Each structure stands twice: as C-alpha cells, then as structure tokens.
C-alpha cells in the first residue's frame, strides 16, 4: 500500500470549525502533513447505490470536495470542485459528524459497513461503524459497572423517584444527546423532578439515565483520551460558577491534569474492549473515582491536550491508523 493515503472526512461544515479547538481539524492537519490527500463531505451527501446504479460512482459514494487545510484564521481551507467520490476507492474514512446519536447517525453506520475494512475495495472507517452503533456512549459504560457511580436507566417515573429517594442529589441525562444539552441536577428538596419527567416522556420514547451527583465534579470532569485502548493524556474540564455541567460547550474551562492510579486502572479495564472493537480514538469521562461516559462518536480534546502536555495527539492517532493499514 502506498504511504500516501486517500482520506475522506465525514463531518459537519469545515467552514465553521474553531481551528484552535476542533479535533477533526487537528486530525486533518496531521494527515496532510504526512502527505495524505483529503476530501470532506457532510453525512447528508452519503449514498448507497445497488443494482445497475452501482456501476456509476461505486456502491457507497459521497458528493465530496478535495480540500487543503492550514492553521490560518479566516482562511483555513481551500476546496476543490465537488465530485462523486467512491468510498471504496479511499483508504480511510473518518466518521466525525457530531451527535445526536439518532436514526440518521445509526443509518450512516450501516452504510459505512459496506466499505469498512482493510484491503483492496475496502476503507478503514475510524471508528469502526458497527462498534460505534453498538456502543452508545452512555450505555457502553454500563458494561463496566464496577467503575461507575450508582446509575439507573429507566422509563418508569416510579423507579426514578425511588432512585432519588436513596441517593437524594441526582443528575438526569438524556441518553443520546451531546455537549451537556438537556442535563439537569436535581438537588434534595427540588420539587421539579416530576414535572421534568412529564415533559421528557411527553416528547420522547427514550429512557433517561439517572446518576448519583458526584460533588467531585466541582474539581473537574476529566476527559481522558485513549488511542487504540491506551491513554495518551487527559484534560480537566472545570464547571463555570453556578453550573453543574463541565462541558466546554456550556462554559467549562479546560485545565491541565495528570492521570491518577485510578484513572489508569479504569483505562486498563476498558482498553482491551476498545482496541479489539476498532474504537481507535475514544475519550472517556471520569469524575472523582468514577467512569461516567465512554465517547466513541466524535471525541474532542486533542488540541487542548497538546497545548498542556506538548504532545502530538493527532499524530498518535494517525500512527495507530497506519499500523492497522500496514503502511
């Protein structure tokens, strides 16, 4: 296989990214520095053609644009003419569109399975689309219950209220959101829980995740980045004053942090699963001593980690990708 790879990036609009914070942009810069060729497309330009229609443009294809990127604010991308790109003719597909993890997201994983693999007529999808589909971020973590704080996933308001009776101070999360959207802290004595549940279940058939509130979150929600199941570093996301959520989308502040012995214990427990299932780039969330989420869809934090630790995290990810391809 040639050392120069053809890389398709399935992502939200490149024109709108924060070039000093976006992890996908960092991965693209590193790919280009290695001599790889880049195309970008939104998931809405992905299509699967069967029968005679597959003879023109390949079975799985996307209306994509070749692109060159640079770290220059206001002029960070130069696009070529849009073309029909057969994903079977690429070497790597980076699946980097943001959640929510809805049926559109799930359908995209099914389509990408048609090309995923290593070898002629295949393209290594990062992360493995079947593994992503089988690993919703707030559900995958439940396979490691000894690492979690007390947690309940339920539809039943009675079950949720009983959990609250035991743990008093709780966090209520939608299962398939992102960026901290829709997360509530319900303190002891707060009378809004029933109303919140009524509002959620009036518009959704999905259960909720309920967790014991961990006061350690005031010291930060640690995002640990793993590459092929191995931790490469972490950042700590400290909530803004008056805010229970630490996500940077809602004002959380990133600070430098080292991995603790407990962090490494958590990584050793989950690492083999991530590696064996093709989840090359993942980010886990740890509050105090507890694992709360395993992020596999579109993890973030690379550029912050690089600034704090002086590493090239995107380079480590590309090293792992190239090893799998035998480059």
Q: Does 173 qualify as catalytic in the annotation?
A: yes
Q: Does 96 qualify as catalytic in the annotation?
A: no
In DSSP terms, 86 is beta-bridged to 61
Give which of 92, 36, 42, 97 is closest to 65, Cα–Cα.
42
DSSP string of 154-169?
ES-HHHHHHHHHHHSS
Q: What radius of gyration do the chain's Cα atoms show?
A: 21
Q: From the candidates 236, 247, 277, 295, which is the catalytic residue?
A: 295
Question: In the Cβ-directed half-sphere of 258, how many Cα atoms lie within 13 Å?
Answer: 2
Q: From the candidates 221, 285, 304, 322, which is the catalytic residue?
A: 285
CA distance linking residue 23 with residue 240, whole number of Å = 22
- Please enumerate in sequence order all residues whose Cβ is within 8 A of that of 215, keeping only pairs 6 or more positions apart, or say none: none
Q: From the candidates 223, 247, 263, 277, which is the catalytic residue?
A: 223
Q: From the candidates 237, 247, 277, 304, which is the catalytic residue?
A: 237
Q: How many residues does the chain have?
A: 327
Q: From the candidates 59, 138, 164, 212, which is the catalytic residue?
A: 138
Q: Does 237 qualify as catalytic in the annotation?
A: yes
Q: Does 295 qualify as catalytic in the annotation?
A: yes
Residue 113, helix vs strand vs coil: coil
Q: Does 223 qualify as catalytic in the annotation?
A: yes
* Residue whose pair of structure tokens reads 């630490």 in the numeric block: 246
Q: Does 168 qualify as catalytic in the annotation?
A: no
Q: Which helix (H) or strand (E) holds 181?
A: none
Q: From the candidates 245, 247, 263, 304, which is the catalytic residue?
A: 245
Q: Does 324 qualify as catalytic in the annotation?
A: no
User: Which sequence positions are flagged as catalytic?
Assistant: 138, 173, 223, 237, 245, 285, 293, 295
């Amino acid at each position: 296989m040639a050392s120069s790879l053809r890389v398709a990036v399935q992502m939200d609009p490149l024109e709108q990214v924060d070039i000093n914070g976006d992890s996908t942009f960092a991965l693209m810069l590193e790919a280009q520095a290695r001599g790889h060729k880049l195309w970008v497309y939104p998931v809405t330009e992905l299509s699967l053609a069967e029968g005679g229609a597959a003879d023109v443009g390949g079975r799985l294809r996307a209306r994509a644009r070749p692109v060159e990127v640079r770290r220059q604010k206001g002029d960070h991308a130069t696009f070529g003419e849009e073309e029909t790109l057969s994903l079977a003719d690429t070497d790597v597909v980076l699946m980097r569109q943001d959640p929510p993890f809805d049926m559109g997201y799930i359908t995209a994983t099914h389509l990408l399975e048609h090309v995923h693999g290593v070898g002629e007529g295949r393209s290594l999808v990062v992360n493995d689309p079947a593994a992503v589909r089988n690993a919703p971020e707030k559900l995958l973590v439940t396979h490691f219950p000894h690492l979690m704080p007390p947690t309940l996933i339920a539809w039943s308001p009675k079950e949720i209220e009983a959990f609250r009776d035991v743990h008093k101070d709780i966090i209520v999360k939608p299962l398939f959101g992102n960026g901290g959207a829709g997360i509530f802290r319900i303190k002891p004595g707060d009378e809004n829980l029933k109303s919140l549940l009524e509002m959620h279940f009036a518009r959704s058939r999905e259960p909720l995740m309920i967790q014991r509130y961990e006061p350690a979150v005031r010291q930060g929600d640690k995002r640990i980045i793993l590459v092929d199941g191995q931790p490469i570093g972490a950042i700590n996301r400290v909530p803004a004053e008056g805010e229970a959520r630490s996500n940077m989308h809602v004002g959380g502040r990133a600070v430098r942090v080292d991995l603790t012995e407990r962090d490494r214990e958590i990584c050793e427990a989950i690492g083999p699963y991530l590696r064996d299932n093709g989840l090359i780039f993942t980010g886990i969330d740890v509050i105090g001593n507890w694992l709360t989420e395993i992020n596999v869809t579109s993890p973030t934090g690379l550029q912050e980690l690089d600034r704090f630790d002086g590493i090239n995290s995107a380079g480590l990810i590309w090293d792992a990708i190239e090893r799998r391809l035998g480059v």
